């Protein structure tokens, strides 16, 4: 190909040379490659087939249910649904903490209870040996939030 001449006709054929690139074959090739990779990609993620050994190890257990300490409108604490007195609270909490000190304890307090009483109960739960103490509140939509 020679230099492009504007406005002049080619002597041999009587037409001017085209200066456009036809991209249709390029698009066709790219679409075929795209389809090939889309089909081949899921096949590449499969691992090597392996015969796994058997083990006598215990299965991973489900997470434990948290211990729930509730405080009613009168300021009375409850362990699940069992009422706690000032004499029975610490021994029961210490017994639970000695079994599993990483157990999660959720404290639920009625909105009518003074905040100081809730903090006092949370302090007693922490003093019993629990390291994970959380306060439960209700989200505006009605679902409980932690």
The residues facing 36 across adjacent strands are none
Report the alpha-carbon distance of residue 71 to residue 76 in Å, rounded.
5
Mean pLDDT of 110-121: 89
- Are the C-beta atoms of residues 108 and 69 closer than 8 Å to each other? yes
Mean pLDDT of 9-17: 65
- Are the C-beta atoms of residues 117 and 128 closer than 8 Å to each other? no
Look at the domain 67-137 and name its fold.
Nucleotidyltransferase; domain 5 (3.30.420)
Length of the chain: 146
Considering the chain, what percentage of its residues have pLDDT values greater than 70?
Answer: 79
Q: Is the pLDDT of residue 4 over 60?
A: no
Instruction: Give pLDDT, residue 30.
Output: 96
Tell me the per-residue pLDDT of 24-78, one tens digit each, with 9 for 90 and over: 999 999 999 999 999 988 777 666 667 777 877 777 667 778 888 999 888 889 9
At 84, the pLDDT band (50, 70, 90 cuts) reads confident
Query: How is the chain split into domains, by residue range?
Result: 67-137
Instruction: Give pLDDT, residue 55.
Output: 79
Quote the mean pLDDT of the chain.
Answer: 81
Instruction: Give pLDDT, residue 10.
Output: 57
């Amino acid at each position: 190909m020679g230099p492009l001449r504007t406005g002049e006709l080619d002597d041999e054929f009587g037409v001017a040379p085209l200066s456009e690139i036809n991209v249709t074959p390029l698009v066709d090739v790219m679409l075929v490659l795209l389809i090939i990779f889309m089909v081949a990609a899921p096949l590449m993620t499969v691992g090597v087939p392996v015969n796994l050994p058997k083990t006598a190890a215990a299965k991973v257990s489900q997470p434990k249910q948290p211990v729930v300490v509730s405080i009613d409108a009168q300021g009375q604490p409850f362990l699940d649904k069992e009422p706690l007195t000032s004499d029975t609270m610490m021994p029961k909490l210490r017994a639970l903490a000695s079994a599993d000190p990483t157990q999660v304890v959720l404290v639920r307090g009625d909105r009518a209870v003074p905040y100081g009483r809730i903090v006092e109960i949370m302090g007693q739960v922490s003093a019993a040996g629990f390291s994970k103490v959380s306060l439960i509140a209700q989200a505006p939509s009605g679902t409980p939030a932690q």
